[in-house]
A = this chain, B = another copy of it.
Amino acid sequence: MNDKITKKIYPVDGVKISSVSSGMYKKIRLDLSIIEINSNSSVAGVFTKNKAKSPAVIISQKNLKKSNPKFLIVNAGNANAGTGKDGYNDVIKYCESLAKKGNCSIYDILVFSTGVIGEKIKVKNIVNSIPLLVKNLDANQWNAFSQSILTTDTENKIISKKFKIAGESVTITGVTKGSGMIMPNMATMLSFVATDVKIPKNQLSKILKDITKVSFNMITVDGDTSTNDSSILIATGKSKIIYNNLSNDDKNKFNNILKSIYIDLAKKIVKDGEGATKFVTIKVDKVSTFKVAKKIAMSVANSPLVKTALFAEDPNWGRILSAIGNVNTSVKDLSKIELRLGKILIYKNNKLNSKYNEKAAKKYLKNKNIEIYIKYNTGLFSGTVWTSDLSHEYININADYRS
């Protein structure tokens, strides 16, 4: 469902990438990549809160605390989750191989896996690919990299921007993947973003956490949080810009551009959500906290009854009201709620808008991009969640995936 627009991809000075077809994926295609990061870079990461974490996530979290990573290794086709001690040892094995070829410690490596859960990863295929991967490292491989990490995704998801801050040119380039098992909790399925600005690690971690809250953590396809969600932000410091020397205005400018990239990457996942025929924006406005707004929007976004009505282009707004009513928040009184589909006011003052025209609502739902607006009038905060509809194709994909 994504718009197919080819745009220029800018390499990020200090980041080199290579991708190969290791034979791990069910068909022959790029499925294994490494990223080499310049030694003076800062790296920040956020990871899934699912307790059935992949060993890849456990190891990455541990190593990120200890050291400045030199390599990232990413495979698609096998999530190496639900594999316990064996899965852990498998990761160590191929990290040892990369550490040797790449002249670093195994603690300088972060590991990412995505694909089927519960199957043993093909260590041999990875180990055999490492010499070629290290040999082919190149700054201009972002596009190939974005392809190598896909699973049920129907297209690659990449955003690249070059712009000026304080008179100097800086670059941000990022990729992501994800289509099903999407309701990230702290991060998305996989996302890698790099910039050439110099930002200390602590600062970078804070920026990533803040931005994740309003981007990847605000999307849902099916309400299932994955075992492998990981989101990595790299700052190589190769440009002339040192974040801490910037004026507040310039810091804000950079943060806002970075945030818009994250939001756009997150939206790309929803647009390519399994079986998605609609891209749905749910804004909850005028509530007591951002958290409450998110909770309400997520309840609507994850309701299979709302999702199937959207698929059917049926303005069955009672299902939205019911999903709102199901949220366990301190707001007891729903009589102040306003409900809109796009600009169409449906419900206000505890009753149906007397001018509401169902035909107009039906026509509005024929659009690909749908907006649901819910105003509580009980506070000052708002939150926006992005989601997809629930179609036959979702069931086809998930009844077929694996087999």
* Residues on the B chain within 8 Å of A322, using CB: 50, 52, 81-82, 117, 181, 224-227
Q: How many copies are assembled? A: 2
- CA distance in complex: A331, B53 (Å): 14
What 0/1 pattern do residues 95 to 130 of A give for CB contact below 8 A with B? 000000000000000000000111100000000000
B52 touching A334 by the CB < 8 A rule?
yes
Please state if A117 and B321 are interface contacts (CB–CB under 8 Å).
yes
Q: Do A335 and B84 touch (CB < 8 A)? A: yes
Residues of B within 8 A of A314 (CB): 399, 402-403
Tally A residues with Cβ within 8 Å of B.
Answer: 64
Q: Judge whether A116 and B304 touch: CB under 8 Å.
A: no
- 0/1 string, A202-223, CB within 8 A of B gives 1: 0000000000000000000011
Task: Say if the beta carbon of A394 comes within 8 Å of chain B.
Answer: yes
Q: Does A392 contact B (CB under 8 A)?
A: yes
Within 8 A of B (CB), among A166-225: 180-181, 185, 222-225
* Contact of A281 with B by CB under 8 A: no
Contacts of A234 in B (CB 8 A): none
Docked pose: A51 CA to B395 CA in angstroms: 31
Query: Do B118 and A304 touch (CB < 8 A)?
Result: no
In whole Å, how far is A288's beta carbon from the nearest beta carbon of chain B? 15
In the bound complex, what is the Cα–Cα distance between A119 and B398 (angstroms)?
35
Please name all residues of chain B whose beta carbon is closer than 8 Å to the beta carbon of A303 when the two chains form the complex: 223-224
8 Å CB contact of A317 from B118, B350, B398:
B118
In the complex, the chain B residue whose C-beta lies closest to that of A52 is: B325
User: Which A289-328 residues have a C-beta within 8 angstroms of B?
Assistant: 302-305, 308-309, 311-312, 314, 316-319, 321-327
Question: Does A400 count as interface, using CB distance less than 8 angstroms?
Answer: yes
Contacts of A308 in B (CB 8 A): 394-395, 398-399
A398 touching B309, Cβ below 8 Å: yes
A392 contacts which of B85, B347, B395 (Cβ < 8 Å)?
B395
A86 within 8 A of B: yes
Residues of B contacting A325 in the complex (Cβ-Cβ under 8 angstroms): 50-53, 227
A116 and B316 alpha carbons, distance in the complex (Å): 9
The smallest C-beta distance from A38 to any residue of chain B, in angstroms, reads 35
Interface contact A321-B227, CB-CB below 8 Å = yes
Q: A224-B304, A305-B224 are in contact. Are A79 and B326 (CB under 8 A)?
A: no
Q: Evaluate contact between A321 and B395: CB separation under 8 angstroms.
A: no
**A308's closest neighbor in chain B, by CB?**
B398
B-side contacts of A326, CB under 8 Å: 50-51, 185, 224-225
Decide if A282 is an interface residue (CB 8 Å cutoff). Answer: no
Cβ–Cβ < 8 Å partners of A372 in chain B: none
Q: Report which A residues bind B (CB closer than 8 A).
A: 50-53, 79, 81-86, 116-119, 180-181, 185, 222-227, 302-305, 308-309, 311-312, 314, 316-319, 321-327, 331-332, 334-335, 347, 349-352, 390-392, 394-395, 398-403
- Besides A51-B326, A224-B326, 13 other A-B contacts (C-beta < 8 A): A81-B321, A84-B350, A84-B352, A85-B351, A117-B319, A118-B352, A224-B303, A224-B323, A227-B318, A304-B390, A304-B398, A311-B399, A312-B399
